[in-house]
Each structure stands twice: as structure tokens, then as C-alpha cells.
Amino acid sequence: MSFPNPSHRYIDPLYWLQRGWPLNARKDAASGDVDAKLFLAFDSFTTNSNENSGETLRWHIKAAAQGDPDAIKNLVRLYRHGRCGVKMDLVKACEWMATYLNSDCTERNPNIVKTFLYDYGMLLVGADTNESHQKLPLEMQDAKKGCELLERAGEIFNCMDSIKTLGGMLYISDQFPKIPRDLDKGMYWLLKGAQNGDGKSAYQLAMLFSCGLIPVNRELELKWFLVAVKLGFQGKIQFVNHLSQEKANKRLRNIERDKDIEQFLPTDETKACSNPRCSNLEEDTRFNTCVKCKHTKYCSKECQVVHWKTGGHRKECPLLEKQKEEMKEINRNAILLDARVCFNPDCYEKEKDGITFQKCSRCKAAIYCSRDCQKAHYKAGHKKVCKKFLKYLDEANKLLERAETFPTTGD
């Protein structure tokens, strides 16, 4: 196992001779000489790494106590990867990373700062980023602070690892439950990734314009797929299958009536009664679901009452109902165009034979049965969506123009 990469003169044999080391090293270290302390740490490792690992660690800690950036950097690596006979300890590794990041020492290496911002941020959000796949203890994880560190790495150092993580994992997917979904932030980082030549970020943007998290825009979907290909994306391009107008209308009606929506929720994945005191399983007879949240199911009215009063469902039901409404909104966004109905939710008038609704002239996505419905929907929320569509259309066109001018990172 190699010693952490040193960058100081304490490894230079000519410097040793000038200082009279190793003979005078302990005397110089006792007088507070940081170079001498780092020399002793290095010397103890190279002499016998197993027997002298305690010496290696002790002299590094002494040098780090004086604010030496090399010593702090090496301590992070010793604890993070369990090198030089030092036992792996992510908690201590994070403590030293924080010390390095909070230091105002002018000798800090910008590349090390970038690396520590990313590594520390990932550990704080609950990821495992080292070979042992260990994570920080739950009580030490801090998703908000972790995201802040990753954003600093992305903004200040243009760290692509941070940029791709923020866009593709943290703010859009539900891979990290402690981080609430934030589409605006997620799209911002996906765009930044694409602007840096990452084809996968462009592909993920294309999927956003077709999956229903925001209203579907097929022009943008195709445009960003093209950007992804131009940037070297090697994965399979998967287009979302669109429904017939009849099927889309039926699904839209069912969504509005809260009918058959359990198929889109975790409810259908379990066959057990939601009352924890009951062991009945759903077999030939279908259990009834909670009318409000549609997340829980019960074999009887008695079990539902018990779970409401003593099982905690009274408190969790409003939260689950909110999740249900979010799911309904996603499904509306995904099928409105296929249903060919007016986008004004207070109308939903359906296109009929010989009648074609007018598109929004700016985003070319939303359709309306009348000018009045368009005005009402614009004020009710389409204004923000429309501006977002136009921004990402403009950015896609810019990237297509300059796609050949910068190296691509592919997928």
C-alpha cells in the first residue's frame, strides 16, 4: 500500500541532508518544525508500516494541529481508505476534510478542495464512495449540507462528478429520500452537465420532457435527444409510448375520479391488510383502500378503524394523500397531449372530429379550446412552464450549434 501522495519538501533527500535528518529530526519536531514532523511520519511508514503505523498517525496529527495542509490531506486519506496500517474511520476522515475545507491556508490545493467537497458532500447525503461501501452513521448524515458542498464543487470548480450527481440523482430521482425533489434545481444541473459536453445529462433532460414530471413537450423531447446524440451519448434512446386518444381520455377520467389509481401507487404491491395487528392476506376477495390516500388497504371496516385510531394512519394519511395528488399530476402531465383535451384543468374539453385546438404559440405544447381558456391557464401556472420550455429550447439550439467545438464525456 503506497503512502499518501506527498507534495512537500520533507520527502526530498537533499533537504534531509541540509537539515541533518534523521539525526536531528526529533529535536526539530519538538521545537515545532512542521517539516520535521512530516518527515518523521514519512520515515516511520517507510521503515515498517505495520509496526510504526501509530507513529505515522501521531506525527501527522501533530503537524495537522499546526494547520499544515499536507498533513491534513494525508490524514483524510489515511482514515478514509485505511492506509498505512491505520484503521478506516469515515467519521474522522470527514472531520479532517471539514478542517481542510474550513482552513484559510493559501497553500491549499484547489484540486484537493474540489475532491473533498465532492467526497464529503456525498458522504453527508448518505452515499458510499469508497472501496468498502461504508456509509456515515445516520446521525452524522446531513442531506442539506451535503447538497450545499456538492453545489460549491459544481459552481466553483465545475466538478463534473458533482454536476452529474446533483442533476441525475439528487434533485430529480427518489434515490435519496431525505432530499426533496426539486425539478428546477435538477434541470439546472442537467443543463450545466450538457453544457460541459455530457451526453447523458442531455438524455436525462429529454426524458424529463416526456415522462410527466413536467408537462410533456415532444419538440423539446426530440431536440434534447438530438443534443444527447451530438454529445456522444452511447446508450439506447427510448421514446415514451404514447396512448391513443381514446385510452388517454379514459385514463384522464379515471385519474380525476380517483378510479383505479392504486395501480400507480405502492398499494398494489402488497397483499396484506395495512392494520399491523391483522395477518389477513388479500386473495380471492379484493381489500378496500383508504378513500383519501389510496395507499392503505384493509380486509374489513374494523381493521381500518383500528389502524386509524391506534396504528398511526390518522397522522400519515394527509402526507400519503399529498403523494397521491403528486402522482395524479404526473399522470395528467404525461397524457394530456395524447388525450387531445384543453389544457385548462377547469375545462378539459375534448377535441372532436373536424375540430383542432390551437397550440400555445410560444412553447408549442399546450393546447386550448378557446382564447379564454388559454388566458386562464396562463395565469394559473402555464406562464412559468412556458418560460421554462422556451429557455430549454434556446439552450438546446445553442448546444447543437457548438456541439462539435468541445470534447464530449459521452454517457
Q: What is the pLDDT of residues 103-121, one digit of tens each?
A: 877 678 899 999 999 999 9
DSSP 3-15: PP---SGGG-HHH
Asked whether residue 376 carries a pLDDT value surpassing 50, the answer given is yes
Question: What's the pLDDT score for residue 1?
Answer: 37
Residue 364's pLDDT band, with cuts at 50, 70 and 90, is confident
20 phi-psi bin (left φ>0, alpha ψ -120 to 50, beta other): left
Q: What is the pLDDT of residues 19-37, one digit of tens each?
A: 888 888 899 889 998 888 8
Burial tier of 295 (Cβ tally within 10 Å: 0-12, 13-18, 19+): buried
Q: What is the pLDDT of residues 292-338, one digit of tens each?
A: 999 999 999 999 999 999 888 999 999 999 999 999 999 999 999 89
DSSP 81-131: HT-TTPPP-HHHHHHHHHHHHH---TT--HHHHHHHHHHHHHHHHT---ST
DSSP 262-291: GGGSGGGG--B-S-TT---B-SSSPPEEPT
The pTM score is 0.84
3-state secondary structure of 330: helix
Q: What is the pLDDT of residues 227-284, one digit of tens each?
A: 999 999 988 887 777 889 999 999 999 998 888 888 888 888 888 999 999 999 998 7
CA gap 370, 88 in Å, rounded: 66
Burial tier of 69 (Cβ tally within 10 Å: 0-12, 13-18, 19+): buried
Query: Which three cell numbers, joined as nine digits, stand for 269?
Result: 404491491
Q: What is the pLDDT of residues 176-218, one digit of tens each?
A: 888 999 999 999 999 999 999 999 999 999 999 998 998 899 9
| Contact (Cβ atoms closer than 8 angstroms) between residue 181 and residue 171 | yes
* Number of neighbours of residue 289 by Cβ within 10 angstroms: 20
Q: Which of 23-27, 88-92, 313-317, 379-383 has the lowest mean pLDDT?
A: 23-27
CA torsion 266-272-274-279 (nearest 10°) is: -160
CA gap 21, 84 in Å, rounded: 22
DSSP 356-396: -PEEPTTTS--EESSHHHHHHHIIIIIHHHHHHHHHHHHHH
> How big is the CA angle at 152 (ends 147 and 156), to the nearest 5 degrees?
155
Average pLDDT, the chain: 88
Average pLDDT estimate for 393-411: 77
Q: Which residue has the higher pLDDT, 299 or 48?
A: 299
Question: What's the pLDDT score for residue 5?
Answer: 42
Query: Which three cell numbers, joined as nine digits, stand for 113?
Result: 478542495
CA gap 120, 93 in Å, rounded: 9
Residues in the chain: 411
Alpha helices (H) along 196-312:
199-211, 218-230, 245-256, 301-310
Pairing verdict, β 367-368 and 358-359 = antiparallel
> How big is the CA angle at 380 (ends 376 and 381), to the nearest 5 degrees?
125
Nearest by Cα to 249 from 368, 326, 341: 341
Question: What's the pLDDT score for residue 131?
Answer: 67
